Structure 1
Amino acid sequence: MKTHFIAIGGSAMHNLAIALKDKGYQVTGSDDAIFEPSKSRLEKKGILPQEMGWFPEKITQDIDAVILGMHAHQDNPELARAKELGLKIYSYPEFLYEQSKNKTRVVIAGSHGKTTITSMILHVLNFHQKDVDFMVGAQLEGFDCMVKLTQDNDFMVLEGDEYLSSPIDLRSKFLLYQPNIALMSGIAWDHINVFKTFDDYIDQFRKFVASITAGGVLVYNEEDPEVVKVVENAENYFRKIPYKTPEYEINNGKVYLKTEMGDVPLSVFGAHNLLNLEGARHICRQLGIMDEDFYEAIMSFKGASKRLEKVEREDKGILYKDFAHAPSKVKAAVKAFAEQFKNDKKYGFLELHTYSSLNPAFLEQYDHAMDGLEEAIVFYSEDALKIKRIEPISPEFIKEKFKNEKLRVFTNAEDLHAYWNTLDKTNGVYLMMSSGNFGGLDLTK
Structure 2
Amino acid sequence: MQIHFIAIGGSAMHNLALALAHKGYTITGSDDVIYEPSKSRLKKEGLLPKEFGWYPEKIHAELDAVILGMHAKPDNPELLSAQELGLTIYSYPEFLYEQSKNKTRVVIGGSHGKTTITSMILHVLNYHDIEVDFMVGAQLEGFDRMVHLTEHNDFIVLEGDEYLSSPIDRRPKFHLYKPNIALLSGIAWDHINVFPTFENYVEQFQIFVDTIVKGGSITYNSEDDILKKVVEASENPIRKLPYSTPEYEVENGTTLLHTPDGPMPIEVFGQHNLNNLAGAKWICQNMGVDEDDFYEAIATFKGASKRLEKLAESSDSVAFKDFAHSPSKVAATTRAVKEQYPDRRMVACLELHTYSSFNPEFLKEYRGALDAADEAIVFYLPESVAIKKLDPVSPEQIREAFQRSDLRIFTSSSDFHEFILDQNFIDKVLLLMSSGNYGGLDLEELKRRIAP
Same topology, TM > 0.5: yes
Counterparts in 2 of 1:427 and 1:259: CA distance versus 1, 3 Å: closer
Residue matched to 1:385: 385
1:24 partner letter? G
Residue matched to 1:299: 299
For residues 6-27 of structure 1, give each alpha carbon's deviation from its aligned partner in whole angstroms, at most 9, with x where no partner exists: 0000000000000000000000
Cα offset, 1:390, TM superposition = 1.0
For residues 337-362 of structure 1, give each alpha carbon's deviation from its aligned partner in whole angstroms, at most 9, with x where no partner exists: 11111100101010011101111110
Cα offset, 1:421, TM superposition = 2.5
Q: Secondary structure at the match of 2:398?
A: helix
CA contact under 8 A between 2:212 and 2:238: conserved in structure 1? Answer: yes
Residue matched to 2:202: 202
Residue matched to 1:143: 143
Residue matched to 2:405: 405
Cα offset, 1:262, TM superposition = 1.4
For residues 385-419 of structure 1, give each alpha carbon's deviation from its aligned partner in whole angstroms, at most 9, with x where no partner exists: 01101111111111111001111101121211122
Q: Which aligned segments of 4 or more residues in structure 1 are displaced greater than 6 angstroms?
A: 313-316
Residue matched to 1:354: 354
Cα offset, 1:316, TM superposition = 8.7
TM-score by length of 1: 0.99
Q: Secondary structure at the match of 2:443?
A: coil
TM-score by length of 2: 0.97
Is 1:322 equivalent to 2:292 in the alignment?
no
For residues 298-323 of structure 1, give each alpha carbon's deviation from its aligned partner in whole angstroms, at most 9, with x where no partner exists: 00000001111111369994111110
1:214 partner letter? K
Q: Secondary structure at the match of 1:106?
A: strand
Is 1:309 equivalent to 2:309 in the alignment?
yes
Residue matched to 2:438: 438
Distance 1:210 1:75 in 2: 33
2:135 partner letter? M
Map 1:151-300 → 2, pairs under 5 A: 151-300=151-300
Counterparts in 2 of 1:8 and 1:313: CA distance versus 1, 3 Å: farther
Counterparts in 2 of 1:234 and 1:288: CA distance versus 1, 3 Å: same
Distance 1:65 1:412 in 2: 47
Distance 2:276 2:250 in 1: 17
Is 1:124 equivalent to 2:120 in the alignment?
no
Residue matched to 1:48: 48
CA contact under 8 A between 1:220 and 1:227: conserved in structure 2? Answer: yes
Cα offset, 1:176, TM superposition = 0.3
Cα offset, 1:261, TM superposition = 1.9
Distance 2:316 2:141 in 1: 22
Q: Secondary structure at the match of 1:236?
A: coil
1:56 partner letter? P
Cα offset, 1:444, TM superposition = 3.0
CA contact under 8 A between 1:106 and 1:179: conserved in structure 2? Answer: yes
Q: Secondary structure at the match of 1:171?
A: strand
Larger displacement relative to structure 2 (158-167 or 260-269): 260-269
Cα offset, 1:377, TM superposition = 0.6
Listed as ranges, the gaps of 5+ residues in structure 2 are: 446-452
Cα offset, 1:373, TM superposition = 1.1
Q: Secondary structure at the match of 2:356?
A: coil
1:366 partner letter? Y
Q: Secondary structure at the match of 1:158?
A: strand
Listed as ranges, the gaps of 5+ residues in structure 1 are: none
Cα offset, 1:424, TM superposition = 2.7
Q: Secondary structure at the match of 2:200?
A: helix
Distance 2:400 2:392 in 1: 15
Q: Secondary structure at the match of 2:300?
A: coil
Q: Secondary structure at the match of 1:116?
A: helix
Q: Secondary structure at the match of 2:348?
A: strand
Distance 2:442 2:315 in 1: 13
Q: Secondary structure at the match of 1:311?
A: strand
Q: Secondary structure at the match of 2:415?
A: helix
1:87 partner letter? L
1:368 partner letter? G
Cα offset, 1:372, TM superposition = 1.7
Q: Secondary structure at the match of 1:43?
A: helix
Percent of residue pairs identical: 63
Distance 1:305 1:145 in 2: 13
Distance 1:317 1:84 in 2: 60
Cα offset, 1:425, TM superposition = 3.4
CA contact under 8 A between 2:61 and 2:85: conserved in structure 1? Answer: yes
Residue matched to 2:448: none
For residues 177-222 of structure 1, give each alpha carbon's deviation from its aligned partner in whole angstroms, at most 9, with x where no partner exists: 0000000100000000000111100010000000000100110110
2:165 partner letter? S
Distance 1:128 1:381 in 2: 46
Distance 2:199 2:132 in 1: 35
Number of residue pairs matched by the alignment:
445
Cα offset, 1:120, TM superposition = 0.2
CA contact under 8 A between 2:316 and 2:427: conserved in structure 1? Answer: no
Provide the alpha-carbon RMSD of the alignment: 1.1
Residue matched to 2:80: 80
CA contact under 8 A between 2:68 and 2:90: conserved in structure 1? Answer: yes
CA contact under 8 A between 1:314 and 1:444: conserved in structure 2? Answer: no
CA contact under 8 A between 2:316 and 2:428: conserved in structure 1? Answer: no
1:322 partner letter? D
Residue matched to 2:365: 365
CA contact under 8 A between 1:114 and 1:160: conserved in structure 2? Answer: yes
For residues 60-102 of structure 1, give each alpha carbon's deviation from its aligned partner in whole angstroms, at most 9, with x where no partner exists: 1101110000000000000000000000000000000000010
Q: Secondary structure at the match of 2:230?
A: helix
Cα offset, 1:106, TM superposition = 0.0
Cα offset, 1:129, TM superposition = 0.2
Cα offset, 1:293, TM superposition = 0.2
Distance 2:39 2:286 in 1: 37
Distance 1:425 1:21 in 2: 47
Cα offset, 1:427, TM superposition = 4.5
Q: Secondary structure at the match of 1:312?
A: strand
Q: Secondary structure at the match of 1:288?
A: coil
